[in-house]
Structures are given as structure tokens and as C-alpha cells.
Structure 1
Amino acid sequence: MIKWLGIRWSFHPLFVLVMIASLATGFFSELLTLFLIVLVHEAGHVITARAFGWTVREVKLLPFGGVVEVDDASGLPAGQEALVAIAGPLQNLWMGLAAWGCGQLGWWDAEWAEYVWKANMMIGLFNLLPIYPLDGGKLLQAAFSYGFNYFAMMKWTARISIALSAMMIVFSLLIAFRPNGGIQLNLLAIGIFLLLTNWTYYRNIPYLFVRFLMHRDRVAARAAARGAYARPLFVSGKQPIGSVMRMLWREQYHLVYVMDPGGQGARVVPEERLIDRYLTERDPHRAVMELI
């Protein structure tokens, strides 16, 4: 692990295995090229994230890209998340076009130029697969933020990512049954990594959701700064407070209308009051009316 520009940069064990395999088979120049491509790809994420004022803590490099860890990611706007995600594949686009152009102009050996632009296209397109934490998965998550509440967004992102990761594993094994085929070990390893990552993500959703609630004050501050309308939520007084919390949307500030059991009236409660009660209440199944 090294520290550069105030950010920790580290190699994921999967990248280390690829490095060892490349060195053992004599593909040192290809390994160095892959490393530089991945580094520029991640630099695109980091530069864009810092332009938005994000605090980037660590970058973990993988054979197909990397994972940028930022502070309080759950409280960041979905639009910014999408732009940071797409910034990586855009680096592969210009690098691939530049390599292709160098080959066409005769500045590079044609075979080497072809390798570089194909490697860039492969890494860029692979990262656009809608599997978390790939860039495509983050774009999917950002898109879901406009169609689902935050809890449902996390669940659907994880479910789709798990399904597609499993399909990747199956595909890597089925290739072995083709004529002159063999198991695609690289694809298999990446598929297993993504499957385990998303399975862990799915199991940690309750804890990630609590972190999301702890940073809801930022949403309120942004809404107040731009004079945005509050989004009303109508709930029954008998509804468990845990289910009410799961109705919160990522970038919307809510006023919660708690209806009386008889439906004769409602109490208007700002979301931060309910969030505070939820975080301090030991029983998430208690009715909202009991807590206010």
C-alpha cells in the first residue's frame, strides 16, 4: 500500500495473483500496460470525485478497474455518483482511441497498438456491466435512486448484481464444453469475487441503511440551501417505525404525516425527529404513534 495525493492506494489480492501469473508467463510489458490503464481509469474517478468535494480515503486496484472508497457515500447525490462512475470508462475511451490512432499513423507497432486499444475497450466495457461495485453497477444504483426509496434501491442493486455475477460464473464454466474450449479462469475468478462481494453487500444492507440514516442531516441541509419542497409521506400511526424509515428517499427531505387510527386527523413530524427516535429505539417494530 502506498499513499499518494493524500489517498491510500492498494492492490487487491486478485490483482496480485494476476501480476504473479503475468510475471511467471513472461507477459511483463502487458502487465505494466494493464497497470497503467487501470491507474488512469481510477484517476478519472478520483479527479471527478474531488471536483465535487468528496473525501477519497482509499483506492483498491483490481485487474478490471478498482474500488474508490469515500467518506459518507450514502449521503452523496445520485447525479454526482453517476458522473464519478462514468468518469472511469471515459478514460478508457480516450486512451483506446489514442492507441488506435497511433497505430493507424504508424507511430506505434500495429500489433501493440491493437493490444492497447482492445485492452482499454475490454476494461471500459466490462466496467459498464450493471454489477455492483463496477461502474455500471453504480450507474444502476444511481438510476434506481430516482425510482425507488433508498432501502429498496440497495436491495434491488444487490439482487441484480448477485444474479448477473452468478451468470458470469456459469458462462465461464459452460465455455469448457465448446469445441477446443476451456474454463475461463480469469472470468471465473472475477465472477466469484463479484458474487461474494454482492452477497456480503446484501447481508450488510441493514447496517448500511443505519449509516444512511445517520447522515440524513446533509439531505436536509441541501434541501434548505436550495429551497426545495419537502416530500410528504403519509403513514398510519400503527405502522412500525422501522417500515416508515424504509420509505425515505435518497435526495428527498420528508415531512411525515402520521394518521390517527381512526383516520380523523394527522400529526406532521419532520423526518429527523423520527430518525432520532428510530436510532435510539431498541424495538424497530414499535408503532410510530407510541414514539411521538
Structure 2
Amino acid sequence: MTWSFPIGRLFGSELRVHATFFLLLLWVGAVAYAEGGPAAAVENVLFIVALFACVVAHEFGHALTARRYGIRTPDITLLPIGGMARLERLPEKPLREIAVALAGPAVNVAIWAALTLITGVQSQIDALGAIEDPGVGIVERLAAVNLFLALFNLLPAFPMDGGRVLRAVLAMGMSRVKATRVAAGAGQVLAFLFGFLGLTGGNPILLLIAVFIFMAAAAERSDVALRAAARSLRARDAMITSFESLRRDDSLQAASNALIRTTQHEFPVLDAGGRPEGVLTRGALFTALNSAQPPHHVGEIMAGPPPSVALTAPLDAALDALFQETAAAVAVVARDGRMVGYITRENIGELMVVSGQER
């Protein structure tokens, strides 16, 4: 996800934080400092660290449950609305999707129960209204936040976990694409509601949450429709066959000339036998040309070998390679390993529009 950066790995998944997550943390911390001074700020930092841990635990509830069904989670990104575990694929069976979706809120309920029952703190959801108040105990606030996270994520609308449960239930009686449309539509209606409340109440955080919900719902609907259409196509149907390639020992001037005379954004780097060794993107070339000491050869700035699929591979296999490995392109290779074409996100989208498959 753009505007996010890695902070470490845990249980085989990369932990990432979205830049806007800090807006929420800054807002809570600033209010606490203004009302209670330095002591309140220190307590608030401890609360933020604990909240961070609870959000991570929620997402690993999804990830570890998905692992039971053989589904990896490449990364987990923390957002203002909680977090997002990026599964390499979604469970196709509705009951499995329900189990994965409910695992996250279940973790928050378990944390809330532990804090309220074991420590004896009397947590009320009303404590959320004073989340920045240093007069409210940190344990009480943390318990209230976990209860809120569980309830909020159970709302029956994408991208919340309740939206995935709704989609899975609907998919038992209709197509997955149609079920996704309904759940995503509910998410966008919820986004408009949050946006209206944020505008009328002067709450920028609520506005930010509304934007994330709207965009995530739209992205989920498009992704499911794209994958449904891709199942009927092969890699050879979508690959780019007219392209210029480079060699790893080509100069940056040669790469620049190729960029100028073509419309390509990605240049496959092939060996003498025509097998892919890497990919040079337009962005990487621009960065190298603008550096104080530009490198001499393409091999110094190219990305590693791209993922590859066979000519007859299903198109959704190429999609998996593009999105799971965040590759710039997927090489389509013949039986002898020679590259005969490549696939990018852009040309897949163009294929769907031209063929009338996307809807």
C-alpha cells in the first residue's frame, strides 16, 4: 500500500504503518498534553503503544486463522481505522471466509474480557468519549477501545470484517461478484454517513476514516470483478508482445533512448538466450539519471528477475504474482524459458475494458 513503510516482521508477515495512522496518534496525544501537561503526555504514549499492540493482535487474528487454510499474509498495514491484513488470496468457501473475518474482532473481545474480568476494571464504551482525558485510567481506556474495535469491525459493510461476513453469507445464494457489490455498496453508504458526521461535527479523523472506507470498498469490488473475469482468460490473452528489451550491460544512455522512442514504462532485461534477468522501470531510470553519481549500466539499477508464468497459465495466476509480490511486471515465458511477452496491471485493466469483461 502506498504511503506506508515497514517496521519489522512477525510470524512471517511484514508489519507496515500507514503515514496517516500517525495523524490519529498525534491528535490523541496533543489533546492529552493540552489538558494534562507532560505527565498526561507520557501516559498517553504508553496508551498508544498498548493500542498499537491491540491492533496488531487483531490483524494477526485474521492472519493466523487464514494460515490454517493454507493462506499466507505477506504484510499487515496499520491504518487510522485499525489495520489491514493483506492475504495472498481470500478463502473461496464462505464458512472459511467467515471464520477468518471473525477472528480479528474475537481477539479484541478476548483482550476486553481479560482487562475487565481479570483486572476488575469497569470498562464502559462511554470511556471512548474521554479517550484523550488523562483522568481516565489507561486500562479502562484500553478496554473500551478494544470493545469499540470489535463492534466497529462487525458493521456489515466493507472493508470492515462484518462486511466480509455479509459477503460470505450472501455468496451462499448468489455469485461472489454480486455479493461483493452489495457489501461494498453498504460500505460506501457508511462512508458517506461518516463523512457527513465528520463535516457537521468538525471531526477530521472521522472524515479520514470515511475516505478510507469509501476507497477500500471500491477497490474490493473492482478486484473481485477483475478476478472473476480473469478466470476465463489465459496469460497469452493479456500479454504485451511488442516491446523493447535491454541487456544488463547496456548503458543508461541506451536505456534513456529506448524510453524516449517507446511508450513503455517497464523494460525487460534479458540474457543472451532471451530469458528474463530483471526489469528496469521508468521511475528507477529517472532516479538514477538524477543522482549525483549515476551508475554506468542497466544491471546496477534494475529490479530482480520478475515472476513468470507459462503462456497457457490462467490469467488470475498472473494477477496473484503481480499483487502478492508487488512486481512491476510478470514475464510470460515459453517452455524453454524464453520471454515471449509480459503483463502489467495497466494492460490487464485495458484488456478488461476493451473486451467488455469488467463490470
Contact 1:155 1:205 in 2 (8 A): no
Is the aligned partner of 1:42 residue 2:42?
no
Aligned pairs for 1:19-168 (under 5 A) are: 19-24=25-30, 25=33, 26=41, 27-73=44-90, 76-104=92-120, 111-168=137-194
Change (3 A) 1:151 1:202: closer
Partner of residue 179, structure 1: none
Asked if residue 4 in structure 1 is aligned to residue 10 in structure 2, the reply is yes
Deviation string, structure 1 residues 81-139 (Cα, Å, up to 9, x no partner): 11011011111111111111244279xx9833321211110111111112212111111
Tell which has more relative contact order, 1 or 2 (C-alpha 8 A, sep 6+). 1
Measure the CA separation in 2 of the matches of 1:197 and 1:133. Answer: 6
Q: CA deviation at 1:190?
A: 0.5
Q: What does 1:189-268 correspond to in 2, within 5 Å?
A: 189-204=208-223, 206-211=225-230
Please tell me whether the aligned partners of residues 78 and 142 of structure 1 are also in contact (alpha carbons under 8 angstroms). yes
Partner of 1:270: none
Query: Alpha-carbon deviation of 1:15?
Result: 1.3
Structure 1 letter corresponding to 2:66: A
SS in 1 for 2:20: helix
User: CA–CA distance in 2 between the matches of 1:66 and 1:105?
Assistant: 26
Change in 2 beyond 3 A, CA 1:77/1:118: same
CA distance in 2 between counterparts of 1:133 and 1:21 reads 24
Residue type at the aligned position of 1:197: A
Residues 63 and 72 in structure 2, CA contact (< 8 A), matched pair in contact too: no
Give the alignment's Cα RMSD to 1 decimal.
2.9
Structure 1 residue runs without a partner (length 5+): 177-182, 216-278, 286-292
SS of residue paired to 2:76: strand
Opposite residue 81 of structure 1, the aligned amino acid is: E
Over residues 146-173 of structure 1, what are the superposed CA-to-partner deviations in whole Å (9 max), with x where a residue is unaligned? 1211221122122121112111211233
Which of residues 5, 19, 22 in structure 2 aligns to 1:13? 19
Q: Equivalents in 2 of 1:154, 1:18: separation in Å? A: 29
Q: Distance in 2 between matches of 1:203 and 1:105?
A: 44
TM-superposed deviation, 1:80: 0.8
Give the deviation of 1:211 after TM superposition: 4.3
Residues 65 and 123 in structure 1, CA contact (< 8 A), matched pair in contact too: yes
Q: Give the secondary-structure state (helix, strand or coil) at the position aligned to 1:9.
A: strand
C-alpha contact 2:121 2:139 (8 A) present in aligned 1: no
1:38, 1:63 within 8 Å by CA — same for their partners in 2? no
Task: Give the Å deviation of 1:208.
Answer: 3.3
8 Å CA contact 1:45, 1:84 repeated in 2? yes
Query: CA contact under 8 A between 1:64 and 1:126: conserved in structure 2?
Result: no
SS in 2 for 1:101: helix
Normalised TM-score (structure 1): 0.64
Aligned length: 211
Secondary structure of the residue aligned to 1:187 is helix
Q: Match of 2:172, SS?
A: coil
Q: Answer whether contact 1:92 1:123 (CA < 8 A) is retained.
A: yes
The CA distance in 2 between the partners of 1:42 and 1:213, in whole Å, is 33
Tell me: CA distance 1:205–1:115, structure 2 relative to 1, closer, same or farther (3 Å): same
> Is contact 1:129-1:136 (8 Å) kept?
yes
Partners in 2 of 1:213 and 1:71 — Cα distance? 20
Cα deviation, residue 67, structure 1: 1.4
Cα deviation, residue 22, structure 1: 4.3
Task: Look up the match of 2:205.
Answer: 186
Q: Compared with structure 1, are the counterparts of its residues 23 and 153 closer, same or farther at alpha carbon in structure 2 (3 Å cutoff)?
A: same
Give the C-alpha shift of residue 202 in structure 1.
3.9
Deviation by residue 1:195-231 (Cα, 9 ceiling, x = unmatched): 122234445554232345579xxxxxxxxxxxxxxxx
Q: Which amino acid aligns with 1:77?
A: K
**CA–CA distance in structure 1, aligned partners of residues 111 and 182 of structure 2:** 33
Task: Tell me the secondary structure at the aligned position of residue 159 of structure 2.
Answer: coil
C-alpha separation in 1, matches of 2:56 and 2:22: 15
